[in-house]
């Protein structure tokens, strides 16, 4: 469904991605592991159209999407949860959700269903719906960022380090929501530093180093044999 | 020297009336700055163009209110075209680039107005001619009506921003253009729409102001300057702050003109601008940023 072939990306003159190739099938949860600064976040930004790939092909459902504007990618069914969450701080929780809900072609009924669904998954967001996004705790902001992405009814969510800096209780909530999304048939490309969570949630895992994919294996294989993990991640 | 109470009251009304028209101009300017980081130095010239389109329509149809609508619509469409052709390609460049570009637009619009409508001033006939007695003055109802009308437009726009389905697009884009785009909001379209709305507000101000000050091709500069002061004093990109600042600055000038001549009273605006930049660069009416 989503395929990157030999993608090269630059920030100014620095060459960040040196030919990345990744595939995610429909409804599949795929992990992307690697140390800090190896290009995981840049890979997601390249898919989302926030940085333009200099070379290679990015395709979604067979169609080239390299260089397309982010809002058009969102309409195609790609949602993005950035590492720094990027909550609209001055908008309330409900208004943050409305940024994805208030779009043409969505009936009021469907709008309400989507809202009730995320309130069901994240009751805290219902409680705080009239509070400014900037006043939420880190964990609540992460939930809001994921919930906001779900408003778009995406086919795939690009999740950038959703558990970074969260308390263990929050981490397990994130794990739960990944399972819920997976059950609903939403594909996820999960960038993480949390190796156990990634191996548990994903079906396949790519490991990146210095801007390229060094290793690619089913998660079950990596769970059984963690030598590769040690080799590339040093954990 | 004692200042008579009646003068203070008259100047308060004057300040409020001028302040509301200025608020309408400044709202557009601050909105455009807030959403695309463009300081639109041609904003006053959109006021001027609106006033001329209004004057022309009145001459043809005799209806002030029709002229008001026509001017707002024509200038909104013109503003959209201007944004899409000239400012969209410059988005994200050095601010100096857009300042020079809008300054250039300002000159072009002034020369166009001179060529199209000639150098002599035009007067728009006020639609409401009654007056009421205020101390020794016969105060025109029309002046009071402009304040209410400008307030109503600002209020309606504020409600749209807050509760309108697409108002949320504007507020989200103002806060984080990139994330708004990732949420499927068509940011380039929002930019063009906001510029069009700002231009329409400017044109509306121009038609409202027409009966008070006359319409000339050079009237825009004064509006740009005053709106710019207001936007800085109110906090760049802050709509509520700009409205308060417009009233604040206009009241200051009105009170100052009790003591000195109106042309000298402008100095207090510049003092307010300089003091704001020195001591509260984020704006007078915004809480200190955390």
pLDDT in tens, A181-199: 999 999 999 999 999 999 9
In which band, very low, low, confident or very high, does the pLDDT at A208 lie, cut at 50, 70 and 90? Answer: very high
Average pLDDT score, chain B: 91
Here the tokens at position A118 are 């995320």
In which band, very low, low, confident or very high, does the pLDDT at B249 lie, cut at 50, 70 and 90? Answer: very high
Whether residue B38 contacts residue B265, with contact meaning beta carbons closer than 8 Å, is answered with no
**Helix, coil or strand: residue B38:** coil
Please enumerate in sequence order all residues whose Cβ is within 8 A of that of A140, keeping only pairs 6 or more positions apart, or say none: A124, A125, A128
With pLDDT > 70 as the criterion, what percentage of chain A qualifies?
A: 100
CATH number for the domain spanning B270: value is 1.10.3470
Interface mutation target, options B170, B178, B184, B189, chain A, most CBs of A under 10 Å: B184
Helix (H) or strand (E) holding A29: strand A29-33
pLDDT at B288: 55
Could you report the per-residue pLDDT of B181-215, keeping only the tens digit for each?
999 999 999 999 999 999 999 999 999 999 998 89
In which band, very low, low, confident or very high, does the pLDDT at B242 lie, cut at 50, 70 and 90? Answer: very high
In which band, very low, low, confident or very high, does the pLDDT at A230 lie, cut at 50, 70 and 90? Answer: confident
Please indicate if any CB of chain A lies within 8 Å of the CB of B187. yes
pLDDT at A37: 87
Which residue in B83, B61, B89 sits closest to B202, CA to CA?
Answer: B83
CATH number for the domain spanning A163: value is 3.40.50.300
| Owning domain of residue B204 | 5-279
* More confident site: B261 or A141: A141
Closest CB to B175 among A89, A98, A100: A89
Which residue in B163, B195, B179, B164 sits closest to B79, CA to CA?
Answer: B195
In which band, very low, low, confident or very high, does the pLDDT at B290 lie, cut at 50, 70 and 90? Answer: very low
Lowest-confidence region among A40-44, B73-77, B259-263: B259-263
Query: Kindly report the CA angle at B101 between B94 and B117, in degrees rounded to 5?
Result: 165
Helices (H), B118-186: 141-163, 167-175, 177-182
Give the distance, in angstroms, between the CA of residue A110 and the centroid of all CA atoms in the same chain. Answer: 24
DSSP secondary structure of A36-91: TTSSHHHHHHHHTTSS-EEEEEEEETTEE-TT--HHHHHHHTEEEE-TT----TTS
pLDDT at B133: 85
Q: In what side-by-side order are the strands of the sheet with A14-24?
A: A14-24, A2-11, A53-60, A63-64
Which residue in A188, A85, A215 sits closest to B182, CA to CA?
Answer: A85
pLDDT at A149: 97
Residue B134 CA to residue A219 CA, distance in Å, equals 83
With pLDDT > 90 as the criterion, what percentage of chain B qualifies?
A: 69
| Owning domain of residue A217 | 2-233
Which residue in B180, B195, B154, B136 sits closest to B10, CA to CA?
Answer: B136
* Chain B residues within an 8 Å CB radius of A80: 182
Question: Is B99 a residue whose pLDDT tops 60?
Answer: yes
pLDDT at B287: 65
Question: Is A235 a residue whose pLDDT tops 80?
Answer: no
Closest CB to B182 among A74, A89, A103: A74
pLDDT at B27: 94
With pLDDT > 70 as the criterion, what percentage of chain B qualifies?
A: 98
How many helices and strands (H and E) does chain A possess? 10, 10
pLDDT at B264: 87
Domain count, chain B: 1
* Chain A residues within an 8 Å CB radius of B182: 48, 50, 70-71, 74, 79-80, 82
Please enumerate in sequence order all residues whose Cβ is within 8 A of that of A190, keeping only pairs 6 or more positions apart, or say none: A29, A30, A31, A32, A159, A162, A178, A198, A201, A202
Question: Is B95 a residue whose pLDDT tops 90?
Answer: no
pLDDT at B200: 97
Residue B284 lies in a domain: no
Mean pLDDT across A42-49: 96
Count other C-beta atoms under 10 Å from residue B133's C-beta: 8
Residue B22 lies in a domain: yes
Paired with A205 in beta bridges are A31, A217
pTM of the model: 0.91
In which band, very low, low, confident or very high, does the pLDDT at B43 lie, cut at 50, 70 and 90? Answer: very high
Lowest-confidence region among A226-230, B26-30, B197-201: A226-230
Average pLDDT score, chain A: 93
Mean pLDDT across A123-147: 94
Contact B178 A80 (CB under 8 A): no
Residue A10 CA to residue A84 CA, distance in Å, equals 21
Contact A69 B176 (CB under 8 A): no
Residue B165 CA to residue B162 CA, distance in Å, equals 9
Mean pLDDT across B53-75: 95
Please indicate if any CB of chain A lies within 8 Å of the CB of B34. no
Domain count, chain A: 1
């Amino acid at each position: 469904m989503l395929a990157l072939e030999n993608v090269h990306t630059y920030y100014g003159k620095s060459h960040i991605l040196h030919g990345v190739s990744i595939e995610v099938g429909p409804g599949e949860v795929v992990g992307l592991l690697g140390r800090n600064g190896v290009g995981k976040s840049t890979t997601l930004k390249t898919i989302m159209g926030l940085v333009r790939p200099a070379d290679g092909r990015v395709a979604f459902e067979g169609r080239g999407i390299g260089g397309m504007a982010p809002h058009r990618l969102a309409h195609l069914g790609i949602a993005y949860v950035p590492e720094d969450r990027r909550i609209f701080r001055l908008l309330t929780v409900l208004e943050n959700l409305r940024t994805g809900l208030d779009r043409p072609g969505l009936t009021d009924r469907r709008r309400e269903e989507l809202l009730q669904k995320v309130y069901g998954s994240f009751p805290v967001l219902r409680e705080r719906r009239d509070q400014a996004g900037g006043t939420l705790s880190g964990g609540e902001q992460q939930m809001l960022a994921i919930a906001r992405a779900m408003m778009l009814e995406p086919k795939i969510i690009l999740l950038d380090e959703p558990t970074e800096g969260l308390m263990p209780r929050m981490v397990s909530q994130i794990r739960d929501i990944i399972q819920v999304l997976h059950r609903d048939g939403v594909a996820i490309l999960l960038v993480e530093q949390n190796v156990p969570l990634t191996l548990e949630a994903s079906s396949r895992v790519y490991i990146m180093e210095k801007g390229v994919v060094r290793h690619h294996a089913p998660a079950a294989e990596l769970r059984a044999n963690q030598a590769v993990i040690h080799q590339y991640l040093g954990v | 020297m004692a200042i008579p109470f009646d003068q203070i009251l008259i100047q308060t009304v004057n300040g409020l009336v001028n302040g509301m028209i200025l608020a309408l101009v400044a709202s557009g300017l601050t909105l455009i700055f807030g959403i695309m980081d463009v300081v639109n130095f041609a904003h006053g010239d959109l006021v001027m163009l609106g006033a001329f389109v209004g004057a022309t329509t009145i001459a043809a149809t005799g209806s002030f209110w029709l002229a008001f609508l026509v001017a707002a619509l024509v200038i909104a469409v013109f503003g959209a075209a201007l944004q899409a052709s000239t400012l969209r390609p410059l988005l994200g460049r050095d601010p100096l680039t857009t300042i020079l570009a809008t300054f250039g637009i300002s000159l072009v619009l002034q020369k166009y107005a001179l060529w199209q409508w000639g150098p002599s001033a035009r007067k728009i006939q006020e639609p409401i001619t009654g007056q009421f007695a205020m101390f020794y003055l016969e105060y025109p109802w029309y002046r009071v009506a402009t304040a209410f009308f400008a307030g109503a437009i600002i209020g309606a726009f504020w409600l749209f921003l807050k509760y309108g389905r697409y108002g949320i697009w504007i507020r989200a884009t103002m806060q984080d253009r990139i994330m708004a785009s990732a949420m499927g909001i068509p940011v380039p379209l929002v930019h063009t729409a906001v510029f069009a709305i700002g231009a329409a507000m400017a044109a509306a101000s121009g038609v409202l102001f027409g009966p008070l000050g006359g319409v000339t091709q050079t009237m825009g500069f004064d509006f740009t300057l005053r709106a710019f002061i207001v936007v800085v004093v109110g906090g760049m990109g802050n709509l509520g702050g700009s409205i308060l600042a417009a009233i604040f600055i206009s009241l200051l000038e009105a009170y100052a003109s009790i003591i000195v001549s109106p042309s000298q009273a402008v100095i207090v605006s510049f003092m307010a601008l300089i003091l704001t930049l020195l001591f509260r660069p984020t704006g007078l009416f915004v809480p200190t940023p955390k």
